[in-house]
Chain A
Amino acid sequence: EVQLVESGGGLVQPGGSLRLSCAASGFSVSDNYMTWVRQAPGKGLEWVSVIYTGGSTYYADSVKGRFSISRDNSNNTVYLQMNNLRAEDTARYYCARSWYADYWGQGTLVTVSS
């Protein structure tokens, strides 16, 4: 059974950092495109980042230079390192599998506030 479990969210001050984790089971993250999508409270879905099977990474303009996606094949986990956080980064962060996001985790909430 395919399962994705995000963790690492919490309350952080503006300018701070967090690292989100997405632990996968039922498939290999190294064999799939893995994506992070976020949703601010009461708002729609916003694509954040993707890591390709070959390791290439891409980011939304809103997070470029501040966020970094990576994966650990041995732990079958994808990460999102978030630096220099801003209030507008407050959102629930979801990881999803594949280019068409067939499976999603339950999300982890990130709140950026002083």
Chain B
Amino acid sequence: EIMLTQSPDFQSVTPKENVTITCRASQSIGSSLHWYQQKPDQSPKLLIKYASQSFSGVPSRFSGSGSGTDFTLTINDLEAEDAATYYCHQSSGLPTFGQGTRLEIK
């Protein structure tokens, strides 16, 4: 099983800051890494597919990068509505998810 480890687990930030969330895979997964946003009592929403491809309708302040074992999700110019839990997910082998990163906006 391919393990995904996200960091940090929690981050408290102020609006207009820039934030980076990392996801490390236990073995190389190429670019088969995807990012989701989940707000309380909502289904997850796809933000980034295949490491760096933005999904339709996602604001441009969300971007992804990385390949192999190390990946990042960057959110620029944070807005209050970005308060959520963010998950990475790999589809190289049988799918797995990271443990999630909760983002609090002060």
Contacts and interface: CB of A to CB of B under 8 A. Distances in A.
Interface residues on A, range: 20 to 34
A100 B100 contact: no
A47 B97 contact: yes
B89 interface: yes
A58 B89 contact: no
B96 A101 contact: no
Contact of B44 (A45, A46, A60): A45
Contacts of A47: 89, 94-97
B69 interface: no
A102 B99 contact: no
B94 A46 contact: no
Contacts of B87: 44-45
Interface in B72-106: 85, 87, 89, 91, 94-100
Given A100-B49, A101-B34, A58 B94 contact: yes
Contacts, number: 51
A25 interface: no
Chain B contact residues (Cβ within 8 angstroms of A): what range?
A: 20 to 34
A105 B94 contact: no
A50 B43 CA distance: 18
A102 B95 contact: no
A112 B99 CA distance: 23
A97 to B, nearest CB: 10
Given A44-B100, A45-B87, A100 B94 contact: no
A30 B78 CA distance: 39
Contacts of A107: 43
Q: Which of B95, B98, B100 has the most CB of A within 10 A?
A: B95
Nearest to B92: A99
A35 interface: yes
B35 to A, nearest CB: 10
Contacts of A99: 91
Given A35-B95, A47-B95, A100 B44 contact: no
